[in-house]
Amino acid sequence: MLTFVGLGLYDEKDITIKGLEAVRKADVAYFEFYTSHLIGTNIEKMERLYGKKLNLLTREDVEQTPVWLKEAKEKNVVFLSGGDAMVATTHIDLRLRARDMGIETSIVHAPSITSAVSGLTGLQNYRFGKSTTIPFPYMARNKRIVSEAPYDTIKMNQKNDLHTLVFLDIDAEKGFMEIGIAASILLETEDRKGEGILSNSLGVGIARAGSDYPAVHADYLPGLKEYDFGGPLHILIIPGTLHFIEAEALVKLCGAPLNIIK
């Protein structure tokens, strides 16, 4: 048996009671922190609360050579990850691999950033289009490479008058991408492409969702990139056209400029 357990947004206490019960009943527990990360805790705190030794998996262990899956044929295995258990595509692939091996699977859901952003900002959840991720730029053949895929996704959503949820890269060497860096990358791409979709665009930044004191701030992108959101994890939203209630919420809850209310 393989049970996927979501850990929630911020610390070891975000796990649900059902998820906690699943971990404590398991024969062995694995977790990964490369798709997301619980900034407000560490492995020692998690093990102390969950009452179980946790075995950390690398990206390769999950995506390329998940040999540990075989254990779930004979044992009760739990797989833990930040956020909801099935938001990351790689986890769906892992579940399909398990099913192909004849392993029964189940899911214990948990709070996810994809739903938390609506509560923190007042943006209506049904108005979000395709999400995207901004990766760190990298060097190839002495040339700095900046992915245009996030910009193109935002452009598509803007055309359809939808909000865009923009995940920010987590890199083993470069660390956690900040909102200021993400906004700068988008504006750099805008200058290079010369399409003008973001020149007067509003952005909404969120840091440490799920903590007692999350940072939430809205401004036009040039101003947003200068705002100090503090420590990770950060996430960015590029809204489409605002409903009047959304505009009011961004002003009152997120400090957005008053001129967005029409």
Strand 138-140 with 143-145, pairing:
antiparallel
Distance in angstroms between the alpha carbons of the first and the last residue of the chain: 55
Quote the CA–CA distance of 32 and 18 in Å, as a whole number. 19
Query: In one letter, which amino acid is 206?
Result: I
Quote the CA–CA distance of 100 and 13 in Å, as a whole number. 33
Q: Are 162 and 126 in contact (CB under 8 A)?
A: no
Phi then psi dihedrals of residue 57, to 5 deg: -105, 145
Report pLDDT for 38.
Answer: 94
Domain 2-111 architecture = 3-Layer(aba) Sandwich (3.40)
Please tell me the pTM assigned to this model: 0.92
CA-nearest of 75, 118, 141, 109 to 237 is: 118
Report pLDDT for 163.
Answer: 98
Report pLDDT for 197.
Answer: 85
Q: What token pair was written down for 63?
A: 């995506």
Report pLDDT for 199.
Answer: 76
Report pLDDT for 89.
Answer: 87
- pLDDT tens track for 211-237: 999 999 999 999 999 999 999 999 999
Q: Would you state the torsion angle of the CA atoms of residues 160, 124, 122, 34, taken in this order, to the nearest 10 degrees? A: -80
Domains of the chain, by residue range, sit at 2-111, 114-260
Quote the CA–CA distance of 42 and 117 in Å, as a whole number. 24
- pLDDT tens track for 30-65: 999 988 889 999 999 999 999 999 999 999 999 998
All residue ranges of the chain with pLDDT < 70 are: none
Element spanning 235, H or E: strand 234-238
Report pLDDT for 118.
Answer: 96
Quote the CA–CA distance of 45 and 68 in Å, as a whole number. 24
φ/ψ bin of 208: left (φ > 0), alpha (ψ from -120 to 50), beta (otherwise): left
Domain 114-260 architecture = 2-Layer Sandwich (3.30)
